[in-house]
Amino acid sequence: MDQEVRYGRQMRILVVGAGVAGLSLALHLRQRGFAPDVIHSGAEPSHGSRGSEAALIAPPAAGVLIGLGCFDEFLATAAPMDALRILDHTGREIRTIDLARYFERYGGGFVTTRGGLHALLAERAGPVLAAVGTDRIEQDEDGVDVALSDGTERRYDLVVAADGLRSAVREQMFGPVELTFWDGRAWWFSLEPGLGLTPATTEIWGPGRFAGFYESPGATHCLLAAPAKEDDVDPVGERRDRIQTLFGDLGGPMPDVLERLPEPEAIGGDLLYDLRLDRWARGRVALIGDAAHATIPVVGLGNGMALVSSAVLASQVARADSRHLEIAWSYYIQRRKRRVDIVQDRARERFSMLSVRHRLAAWTRNEILKATSDEWFLSGWDDLLRRPI
C-alpha cells in the first residue's frame, strides 16, 4: 500500500498504446513536466497499415497541434480543405459545399494523413517501449500493478488505455463491451497525385457504395466503403479484384483510380464499427481515443478526436493528485462526452445517408441534397464547433 500522496507531475503514469491518442497524450503530459511510461505492442511506434488514411483536422484539433508546438510542421504535411464536391454514382455533380467560408468562423480545416500525424507526434512524444504489452493489470485503492510482457512489474498511480478499438486493457478492467457493427467494410490506400480533382476533396455517393478522395501534399488518399456482413473475409491478395468488382460501375474519378490501384499489400481494409460507452474510467484506469469512442470512419475525424481528448485528459490530470483521480476523470468526461456524442451522431447520420442501397432512394437523397443550402448541410456541426473544449 502507498501512503504517500503524489501531486501533478510526481504521479506515475502508464500510457498503453502509441497511436495518435497515446502519443499525443504522452506529449501533452511531457509538456507539463510528467514522465509517463509509454508502451506499444508493435515492433516500433508506427501507424500500422493505416498510415494512408486521410485525417481531417478540423478547428479544435488544429488548435491542439498549435499547443503542441508542431503546427507549422503539420501545415507542411496538410492541405487546406476548402470545399467538398459530392458526385452521384455516374460522376455527375450533386453539389459542391463551400467549406472555406464555413471554417472561417472557427479556424481552418485541413487534410493530412494518419501516417503524417503519427510521425509528427512520435518525433516529440519521448521514449516508447516497443514490443511490450500488458500481461496483467490489477488495481487497488492506492495504485495499479502492471505486469508487462517484457517480464517487469511496475506500480502506477494511473493507467491510460490508448490501445485502440479492440483495447485489451479495457477488456481487462471493464469487461467485454459490445462494438456496433455498421453492415459495411472500408478499404483505404494512397495514390500519386494526378487525378485532377477540383476541389481537392471529392466524394462519390452511390447507391450502397461510397468513395472519398482527399488530397494532401504529394498524395491522394482514397477511402472506399461497401456493404458487408460481419463474417466477411477480405484476403489481402483479393482486395484489388474485390474493389474492381464492387466499384467498377462508378463514374467520376473512379475509372482512373481503378487503373492505378496499388499492390494489394498497400491497401488497408477493415469492417465498420463504432463504440459508445457510458464510462471512460474505472478506478485508476481511463480510456482515450478509439478505446473510448471509436467513430464510423465516414467523417474522417477519429484522429482529430483522439488529439482533442488527449489535450483535455492531460489538462485534468495536471490538476489532480494520486488520491483524487475521480475528479480528473469526471471533468475529462464532462468536457469530452457531449462533443464526442455529437461527432458519433453526425457520423451515424452521414453513414445512413451514404449507405442507402436502392437507386430510387439514392436519387431522392441526391435531389434533397441539391435543393438544400451549404448552411443546412453543415448546420449539424455548429453545435460542436461553438462549444469550448
Ligand X SMILES: Cc1cc2nc3c(=O)[nH]c(=O)nc-3n(C[C@H](O)[C@H](O)[C@H](O)COP(=O)(O)OP(=O)(O)OC[C@H]3O[C@@H](n4cnc5c(N)ncnc54)[C@H](O)[C@@H]3O)c2cc1C
- 8 A C-beta contact, residue 322 and residue 166: no
Query: Residue 356 has which C-alpha cell?
Result: 442507402
Of 47-55, 68-76, 77-85, 340-348, the window that binds ligand X (rule: CB under 6 A) is 47-55
Q: Which residues contact 338 (CB under 8 A, 6 or more apart)?
A: 387
Q: Rule CB under 6 A: is residue 53 a binding residue for ligand X?
A: yes
- 311: contact with ligand X by CB under 6 A: no
Query: Around Cβ 229, how many Cβ atoms within 10 Å?
Result: 11
DSSP string for residues in 167-209: -HHHHHHH---PPEEEEEEEEEEEE-S-S--SSSEEEEE-SS-
Among residues 27, 55, 243, 281, the one that binds ligand X under rule CB under 6 A: 55
Near ligand X by CB under 6 A, which window of 4-12, 238-246, 293-301, 370-378? 293-301
Work out which of 51, 184, 252, 289 binds ligand X, going by CB under 6 A.
289
Cβ proximity of 296 and 313 under 8 Å:
no
What is the phi/psi pair of residue 42, to 5°? -75, 175
Is 270 near ligand X (CB under 6 A)?
yes
Judged by CB, which is closer to ligand X: 188, or 210? 188
Q: How many CA atoms lie within 13 A of 200 on its CB side?
A: 22
Segment contacting ligand X by CB under 6 A, of 90-98, 100-108, 252-260, 299-307: 299-307
| Residue number, 134 or 366, with CB nearest to ligand X | 134
Q: What are phi and psi of 280, to 5 degrees?
A: -110, 5
The reply on whether position 109 binds ligand X by CB under 6 A is: no
Asked if residue 252 binds ligand X (CB under 6 A), the reply is no
- Restricted to residues 216-235, the positions that interact with ligand X (CB under 6 A) are 223
Determine if 18 is a binding residue for ligand X (CB under 6 A): yes
Give the max Cα distance, the chain. 69
Q: How far apart are the first and last CA of the chain?
A: 36
**x-or-dash string of contact with ligand X, 122-141, rule CB under 6 A:** -----------xx-------
One of 39, 70, 267, 287 touching ligand X (CB under 6 A): 39
Q: Which of these ranges, 97-105, 277-285, 287-295, 328-336, lies near ligand X under the rule CB under 6 A?
A: 287-295
Considering the rule CB under 6 A, would residue 40 count as an interface residue with ligand X?
A: yes
Q: Which stretch binds ligand X (CB under 6 A): 103-111, 162-170, 175-183, 235-243?
A: 162-170
Q: Which of 243, 301, 312, 320 binds ligand X (CB under 6 A)?
A: 301
Is residue 37 within 8 A of residue 130, CB to CB? The reply is no
**Contacting range for ligand X; rule: CB under 6 A; set: 123-131, 139-147, 159-167, 243-251:** 159-167
Burial of 323 (0-12, 13-18, 19+ CB in 10 A): middle
Burial of 73 (0-12, 13-18, 19+ CB in 10 A): middle
Cβ-based neighbour number of residue 262 at 10 Å: 15
CA 77 to chain centre: 17
Task: Confirm or reject binding of residue 42 to ligand X (CB under 6 A).
Answer: yes
Looking at beta carbons only, is 134 or 322 nearer to ligand X?
Answer: 134
The gap from C-alpha 264 to its chain's centroid, in whole angstroms, comes to 23
Give φ, ψ of 284 to 5 degrees: -105, 10
Distance (Å, whole) CA 163 – CA 124? 19
Strands 281-282, 285-287: parallel, antiparallel or unpaired by DSSP?
A: antiparallel
Q: Counting contacts by CB under 6 A, is residue 21 touching ligand X?
A: yes
- Please list every residue from 186 through 205 that binds ligand X, using CB under 6 A: 186, 188
Q: Which of 201, 303, 344, 355 binds ligand X (CB under 6 A)?
A: 303
Positions touching ligand X (CB under 6 A) are 16-22, 39-42, 50, 53-55, 114, 133-134, 162-164, 168, 186, 188, 223, 270, 289-291, 297, 300-304, 306
